[in-house]
């Protein structure tokens, strides 16, 4: 069986300081680093038993997460970043809520310079189609909560499924080599943190 492991980066500074995450390059907190280390220890046997092809967002919090895992030859990509919130990047969450534009469909942007929901979904779908669909390797992806929320429906073949995970959550899928459908083993498993 082909394996696909998805990891949402653990607790980062923006989870605690009231700031927007998005493309702001926040590092993990000390607790987040400890969580990443625990996840790495728990996943070490499976990662050692398979030859995983690894992909990671190029932001610091995800890079720190994958650095705690026993993997090499990681493909870092801006394509795996969280949704770009344009002028809200670097602002407080309060500023984000006060200045967000009302949107009526997925093609509209909430902020100047931001990605629309549709553009964000298309970016995730492009990665899915180009990297995950026909790839015969075992795969490891480290990314962000919003990005993984957009990937889950594609894996499950379900439109508009809204699956939010917790920081440090690990989701695990598998499929028979040559098949297109992924089967769920775990969704947002937090037991690997302890």
Six-digit token string for 49: 């038993």
Do residues 169 and 8 lie in contact, with contact meaning Cβ atoms separated by under 8 Å? yes
**CA angle, residues 69, 70, 73, in degrees to nearest 5:** 100
- Residue 30 phi/psi, 5-degree rounding, is -60, -40
61 is in an annotated binding site: yes
Going by C-beta distance under 8 Å and a sequence separation of 6 or more, which residues neighbour residue 23?
A: 59, 81, 82, 84, 85, 89
Binding residue ranges for substrate: 61
Binding residue ranges: 61
């Amino acid at each position: 069986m082909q394996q696909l492991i998805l990891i949402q980066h653990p607790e980062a500074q923006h989870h605690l300081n009231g700031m927007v995450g998005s493309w702001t390059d926040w590092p993990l907190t000390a607790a987040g680093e400890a969580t990443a280390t625990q996840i790495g220890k728990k996943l070490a046997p499976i990662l050692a038993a398979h030859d995983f092809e690894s992909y990671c967002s190029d932001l610091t919090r995800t890079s720190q997460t994958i650095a705690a895992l026993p993997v090499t030859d990681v493909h870092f990509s801006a394509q795996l970043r969280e949704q770009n919130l344009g002028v809200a990047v670097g602002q407080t969450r309060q500023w984000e809520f006060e200045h967000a534009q009302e949107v009526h469909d997925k093609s509209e942007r909430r902020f100047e310079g931001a990605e629309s929901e549709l553009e964000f979904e298309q970016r995730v779908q492009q990665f899915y189609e180009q990297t995950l669909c026909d790839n015969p390797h075992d795969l490891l992806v480290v990314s962000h909560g919003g990005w993984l929320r957009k990937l889950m429906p594609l894996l499950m073949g379900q439109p508009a499924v809204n699956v939010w995970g917790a920081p440090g959550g690990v989701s695990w899928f598998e499929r028979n080599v040559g098949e297109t459908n992924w089967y769920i083993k775990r969704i947002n498993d937090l037991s690997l943190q302890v």
